[in-house]
Amino acid sequence: MVSTEPLIHAEHISRTYELAGEKVHAVRDITLDVHRGVFIAFVGRSGSGKTTLLNLLAGLDSPTEGSVIFEGRDLSTFNENDMVDLRRHRLGFVFQSFGLLPLLSAYENVELPLRISGVASGERSRRTKEVLEIVGLMRRSKHRPYELSGGEQQRVAIARAIAMKPSLILADEPTGELDSTNAQSIFGLFQEMVREEGMSIVATTHDQTLLDMADEVHRMHDGQIESTWTLADDVDPENPHARFMPPVPTESTT
């Protein structure tokens, strides 16, 4: 059941950069609510502002205008300790570049955030093995990132993000390096986390299957939300789980 109080409320946020003496409007006046237990997807061509928007919602970047409210509190008021607590316990991020530590094994990359957060040894081991099993990589757990394929590295990054069971996962093209079989597995995992764990997921994607599973789909263009579909939109009465959306852009980067 969706809570009436949003987990995140973005109020008229914009992000402008100076590049070679010119202003670049990466995000333009977006207002957005992310409720608990929902799966939201963003789609749009390269440069449309999707990744910048995720960074703003995560507090990795600050809006030039507007505010981002997380669990009732403006992120601009968070001090360093508040941000550390947010990222350790309540927020998981899956980066396009994976962000794995090259000298650590897959197991150690997943286990490290749990260790830093003070999770007890036995529980830390249980959770690490559990999420590696979920993404199908327990047998590769001793391998370092350079010994893994791009798809395997992406699955390690996803395992690391979900290990702490955060309130929110922000995922930038989480299935971009996965084959269809592993992508389908990750889709199912995301749905399970939303439905059973009550997590919220905000993802950028070009994968139509992932879009079809989302509760909301927002198409971005030129830093703005151009159009929005919800699960109830364009439903075929004879196939209530299907809906029509215009073809998604084929570019694979944001």
CA 220 to chain centre: 16
**By the 8 A CB rule, do 10 and 30 touch?**
yes
Helix and strand numbers, DSSP H then E, in the chain: 7, 12
Total-model pTM: 0.82
How many other CB atoms are there within 10 angstroms of residue 49's CB atom? 25
Written as six digits, the tokens of 242 are: 């299907």
User: Distance of CA 171 to CAs 38, 122, 217, Å?
Assistant: 14, 28, 14
SS3 call for 13: strand
Spatial separation of the C-alpha atoms in residues 42 and 215, rounded to whole Å: 11
Written as six digits, the tokens of 23 are: 């202003």
Spatial separation of the C-alpha atoms in residues 3 and 99, rounded to whole Å: 32
pLDDT digits (tens, 9 = 90+) for 228-241: 888 655 555 454 44
Q: For position 226, what pLDDT does the model report?
A: 92
Decide if domain 8-243 falls under CATH 3.40.50.300: yes
pLDDT digits (tens, 9 = 90+) for 8-58: 999 999 999 988 888 889 999 999 999 999 999 999 988 899 999 999 999
- Residue 72 has φ and ψ, to the nearest 5°, of 85, 5
> What's the chain's average pLDDT?
86
User: Distance of CA 82 to CAs 35, 59, 115, Å?
Assistant: 21, 11, 18
The structural domains of the chain, with segments of one domain joined by +, span: 8-243
Written as six digits, the tokens of 252 are: 């694979």
